[in-house]
Amino acid sequence: MLKIGTPAGVLVAVWILLVVTSTHAQQPNITDAAICNEEAQAKAGAPSASPALPAPPTRPPSTANAPTLEPKAGTRTDPSGSIIVQSPDPLLEGMATSGLKEGPYRTAYRDCMAARLKRR
């Protein structure tokens, strides 16, 4: 009996294990979400119910590449509607929905989550 495929099979199994483990390690957990929501609140202030008035524009704004302030299609919340549980932007998962319309809050949350996931 020939055992030609055995070393290749072991290498493939190890590669699959590493890919699955590294993919799983990149998922945010509840601790990440709690820490990043606190950090975003501290950096950006508590999300408000009404947005601050922007400064008058010096020229017409370009909306071609502007990010949307509303949740994108596919964004889902928990039953209470207060936490994002699924989003096309995985760095927003776990974020308090009250921060969705607050650019500084979203940015602080995304930066925090990216840093926490990068450390893994």
Taking 50 as the threshold, does the pLDDT of residue 64 lie above it?
no
CB-based contacts of 13, cutoff 8 Å, min separation 6: none
Domain-located, residue 41: yes
pLDDT class for 27, splitting at 50, 70, 90? confident
Domain-located, residue 97: yes
Number of domains in the chain: 1
Domain-located, residue 61: no
pLDDT class for 4, splitting at 50, 70, 90? low
Structural domain boundaries enclosing 101: 30-46+75-120
Domain-located, residue 25: no
Domain-located, residue 98: yes
Taking 70 as the threshold, does the pLDDT of residue 99 lie above it?
yes
Taking 80 as the threshold, does the pLDDT of residue 2 lie above it?
no
Tokens for 20? 């699955």
Ramachandran class of 79: left when φ > 0, alpha when ψ lies in -120 to 50, beta otherwise: alpha
Domain-located, residue 82: yes
Burial per residue of 81-102, b for 16 or more beta-carbon CB atoms within 10 angstroms, e otherwise: eebbeebebebbbbbbbbbbbb
Domain-located, residue 69: no
The pTM of the full predicted model, rounded to 2 decimals, is: 0.61
pLDDT class for 45, splitting at 50, 70, 90? confident
pLDDT at residue number 75? 85
| DSSP helix, strand, coil percent of the chain (3-state; round to 5) | 50, 5, 45
Taking 70 as the threshold, does the pLDDT of residue 113 lie above it?
yes
CB-based contacts of 95, cutoff 8 Å, min separation 6: 33, 36, 37, 40, 83, 84, 106, 109, 113
What percentage of the chain has pLDDT greater than the value 70? Answer: 57
Domain-located, residue 22: no
